[in-house]
């Protein structure tokens, strides 16, 4: 799938994985529409080729408007879902049971938000002219190693990311008739703005748990994998762990 002179959507584009991906796709020649909450976009980096659009991934109307705007700039070919939240809470803790509203919010943002963006974008992509191989587009979703080895306090997060993993194959099968591929990346521990708030000592301990390379993942490495998935025409219905062979301990 060619990236140059096409349109791409990246959610969670104001920082972290989304920002790195939006910048990389723009450098590859795509016209990128970066979606994020208005509060997050205030601090979004200025990048040539990236246009920011305020949108909550759980709001179908806002997502639909952003998808329509992206489609007007050229054939929509790539959609990358990076938006997500990761609050921590135990099922049963000192303060009582896990807040049901919090659990619902995490699933709504991470899983339902991913599905909302994918489905509305796929509808638009399906209207485009296919390339010589019959391809129309690629969707890359973001899970986590927590989908496989959720830690203590990650019941909601692991459930939501496990849902993204389980969604991958049926989504690829559903959308195959339209020439749309669907893949998922499950990152390990990534150097995101959230991690920047913790101490260097704690970050070093996190890195020590990674077999090799013994460091944290960089957002640019995620972005590079996204670009490879888009370009690799035979990669479909797959979840790729990007974690340095890390297997998370209970805590």
| Residue-level pLDDT at 203 | 81
Long-range contacts for 50-59 (Cβ within 8 Å, ≥24 apart)? 50/13, 50/22, 50/23, 50/26, 52/13, 52/14, 55/11, 57/11, 57/81, 57/83, 57/109, 57/113, 57/114, 57/116, 57/117, 58/108, 58/109, 58/112, 58/113, 58/116
| Residue-level pLDDT at 46 | 96
Rounded average pLDDT over 123-137 = 96
Lowest mean pLDDT among 110-114, 134-138, 196-200, 217-221: 196-200
Is pLDDT above 80 for 196?
Answer: no
Tell me the pairing of strands 239-242 and 96-97: unpaired
Q: Which two structure tokens, joined as six digits, stand for 158?
A: 């692991």
Select from 46, 41, 34, 128 the least CA-distant residue to 81: 34
CB 134 within 8 A of CB 177: no
Could you give the angle at the alpha carbon of 233 between the alpha carbons of 231 and 236, nearest 5°?
110
- Contacts of 250 by beta carbon, 8 Å cutoff, 6+ apart: 151, 152
Topology adopted by domain 7-191+218-242: Rossmann fold (3.40.50)
Gap between the Cα atoms of 67 and 109, Å rounded: 18
Residue keyed to tokens 């974008």 = 121
| Residue-level pLDDT at 202 | 78
DSSP code for 112: I
Q: Which residues are catalytic?
A: 157
Q: What is the mean pLDDT of the chain?
A: 96
pLDDT band at 233 (very low <50, low <70, confident <90, very high): very high
Task: Quote the pTM value.
Answer: 0.95
| Residue-level pLDDT at 199 | 77
| Residue-level pLDDT at 193 | 77
């Amino acid at each position: 799938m060619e990236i140059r002179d096409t349109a791409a959507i990246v959610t969670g584009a104001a920082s972290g994985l989304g920002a790195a991906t939006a910048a990389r796709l723009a450098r590859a020649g795509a016209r990128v529409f970066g979606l994020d909450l208005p509060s997050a976009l205030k601090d979004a980096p200025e990048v040539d080729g990236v246009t920011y659009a305020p949108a909550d991934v759980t709001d179908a109307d806002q997502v639909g408007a952003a998808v329509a705007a992206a489609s007007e700039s050229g054939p929509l070919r790539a959609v990358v879902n990076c938006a997500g939240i990761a609050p921590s809470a135990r099922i049963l803790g000192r303060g009582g049971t896990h807040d049901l509203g919090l659990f619902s919010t995490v699933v709504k943002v991470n899983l339902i938000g991913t599905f909302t963006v994918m489905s509305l974008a796929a509808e638009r992509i399906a209207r485009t002219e296919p390339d010589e191989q019959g391809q129309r587009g690629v969707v890359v979703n973001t899970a986590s190693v927590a989908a496989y080895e959720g830690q203590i306090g990650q019941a909601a997060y692991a459930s939501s990311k496990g849902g993204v993993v389980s969604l991958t194959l049926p989504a690829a099968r559903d959308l195959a008739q339209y020439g749309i591929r669907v893949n998922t990346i499950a990152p390990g521990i990534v150097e995101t703005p959230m991690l920047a708030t913790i101490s260097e000592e704690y970050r070093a301990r996190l890195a020590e748990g990674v077999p090799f390379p013994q460091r944290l993942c960089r957002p640019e490495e995620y972005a590079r994998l996204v670009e490879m998935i888009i370009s690799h025409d035979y990669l479909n219905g797959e979840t790729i762990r990007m974690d340095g062979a890390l297997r998370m301990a209970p805590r």
